[in-house]
Amino acid sequence: MRELARFLVENRVEVGGLLGEHLYLSGVSVGVAAAIGVPLGIAATRSRALERPIIGTANVFQTIPSLALFGFLIPIPLIGGVGARTAIVALVVYSLLPIVRNTHAGIRGIDPALVEAGRGMGMTDLQLLLKVQLPLAASVILAGIRVAAVVSVGIATIAAAIGAGGLGVYIFRGIAVVNDTLILAGALPAALLALAADGLLGWMGRRLTAPGAPGAERGEVKPA
Amino acid sequence: MPPGSDADTAAVEFDRASFAVHRGPTIVRELDFDVASGETVVLVGRSGAGKTTALKLVNGLLAPTAGAVRVDGVETTAWDPVELRRGIGWVIQEVGLFPHMTVRRNVGLVPELLGWDEERIAERVDDLLDRVGMPAGRFGARLPHQLSGGQRQRVGVARALGADPSLLLLDEPFGALDALTRDRLQREFGELMEELGKAALFVTHDLREALALGDRVGVLVDGELAVIAEADVLLESDHPEARALAATLQPPGELGGG
């Protein structure tokens, strides 16, 4: 442990740089995945014809072993190659499933009577989405984004294998030279980063969730 | 209020309207009655008799599979559904209020959808909440789960009146309340309707409620309108369904046809 601490302190500039790369890889990936995944999840609730292919495809992507996916992507033109871009594409693919699935489940889980109430009082589809469905599903959707963030911080360690940098660099180097300290120097900050992302998004979720929506803390006030 | 008055166009007109589930059972069959403007018609029937379906035919959540339903003389299928619904106040049991919106926001929702400016909405909301005995100063900022069942239902009525619709649809609005609260709300609602002079189609499984609130009461049995008549006439009638229903009233005779 003392060795690890000394290593991290001595190499703090490099550690900082790798941490930054790691944060960039997973942050951009989750952002892109949310920008694609939430609309896809909404689309899946709108039409039976889209529901199966969307959820199914997201499921299939999730089953591809991550190291293999990075490998598959390298030869593909435009999105492939060696470096951060390829890694981000792979991480987006992994982050999609929890986001798509939670968006879909969050909206589907709303009491149908509420949706009908909205429709019955003359809301358009868009108004229903913005005023009722998204606010009520927000906590579930954010939980999906939170899972995606934790997963993608973890998987981003593998991105080092295709030259995308990040804390995985220490892990792969440590494995190659059989040096536990080096492996830990990558793994420990990555784990802390995952915990921090989890905590931050959890806090944001509580802040953003509409009071009274499912998942919101109930400030019970006695009815007069 | 003249029940069944001969206004040129009824507020709602069921013209042998039926609704059947696609390749499934018929839920309501050949409903044929009017709701005159200013009149309250109550449909009474057991659960599964097609009461809610009848209401959804009016606001276009369902389209009749045979016959027609007309609102202000125009078939519901010819209306723009959004416009049709914004002109109709809809009160539903319990669940109708949006849990993530304050009382104020819930009540001001239809005016908000109609694009009223904020000041006008605020004024309207204050007025409506006063009317249903839920002063905005005290209740406006609360969320639905911070209200009792009876209070929620008052807010539900206020919300339905939001944009001053000429027609109200009420789906067992007082069904989930305890007897005392229900009695009080029924009385207040009766007075409110008297005062506002709006047309209303009200469904309930409670015959006592139907007789107390309806200018006319229709009895729905398995999706068919067995009989429709003024409340006192209904109790006197020798129609078997009316007799059977009247027999369920307890204690017998209390409301019995005067």
Which of A14-23, B93-102, B147-156, B189-198 has the weakest average pLDDT?
B93-102
Instruction: Identify whether the C-beta of residue B228 lies closer than 8 Å to the C-beta of residue B35.
Output: no
What is the DSSP annotation of B136-195?
HHHHTT--GGGS-HHHHHHHHHHHHTTT--SEEEEESTTTTS-HHHHHHHHHHHHHHHHH
> What SS3 class is residue A12?
helix
Contact (CB<8Å) A123/B143: no
Contacts of B203 in chain A (CB under 8 A): none
Instruction: Identify whether the C-beta of residue B18 lies closer than 8 Å to the C-beta of residue B66.
Output: yes
The C-alpha angle A94, A100, A102, rounded to 5 degrees, equals 110
Q: Which two tokens stand for residue B253?
A: 């005779």
Q: B193-227 b/e with 16+ CB inside 10 Å = b?
A: beeeebbbbbbbbbbbbbbbbbbbbbbbbebbbbb
Average pLDDT over residues B169-197: 88
Q: What is the pLDDT of residue B94?
A: 66
- pLDDT band with cut points at 50, 70 and 90 for residue A2: confident
pLDDT for A167 beyond 60: yes
pLDDT for A224 beyond 80: no
Which of A178-187, A200-209, A211-220 has the weakest average pLDDT?
A211-220
Q: What is the pLDDT of residue A210?
A: 62
Q: What is the pLDDT of residue B235?
A: 79
- pLDDT band with cut points at 50, 70 and 90 for residue B95: low
pLDDT tens by residue, B32-56: 999 999 999 999 988 888 999 999 9
- Percent of chain A exceeding pLDDT 90 equals 65
Q: How far is A117 from chain B (nearest CA, A)?
A: 6
CA-based nearest residue in chain B for residue A213: B100
pLDDT for B174 beyond 90: no
pLDDT for B1 beyond 50: no
> What SS3 class is residue B102?
coil
User: What does residue B191 show for φ and ψ, rounded to 5 degrees?
Assistant: -65, -40
What is the spatial distance between Cα B42 and Cα B14, in angstroms, rounded to a whole number?
14
> What SS3 class is residue A22?
helix
Tell me, yes or no, if B141 comes closer than 8 A to chain A by beta carbon. no
pLDDT for B149 beyond 80: yes
pLDDT for B5 beyond 50: no
pLDDT for A159 beyond 80: yes
Contact (CB<8Å) A212/B100: yes
- Percent of chain B exceeding pLDDT 70 equals 92
Q: Name the interface residues of A facing B (CB cutoff 8 Å).
A: 111, 113-114, 116-124, 127, 131-132, 135-136, 210-214, 216, 218, 220-221, 223-224
> What SS3 class is residue A69?
helix
Average pLDDT over residues A154-163: 89
**At A8, which amino acid appears?**
L
> What SS3 class is residue B258?
coil
Taking every pair of Cα atoms in chain B, the longest distance, rounded to a whole number of angstroms, is 55
Residue in A116, A121, A141 to test binding to B, most B beta-carbons within 10 Å = A121
Give the HSE-up count for residue A53: Cα atoms under 13 Å, Cβ half-sphere: 7
pLDDT for B4 beyond 50: no
pLDDT tens by residue, B233-251: 887 777 787 777 777 665 4
**At B144, which amino acid appears?**
P
pLDDT for A221 beyond 60: no
Calculate the average pLDDT of chain A.
88
Give the residue from B197, B238, B193, B231 showing the smallest Cα distance to B212: B231
- pLDDT band with cut points at 50, 70 and 90 for residue A212: low
What value of ipTM does the predicted structure carry? Answer: 0.82
Tell me, yes or no, if B158 comes closer than 8 A to chain A by beta carbon. no
Looking at the whole model, is its pTM more than 0.80? yes
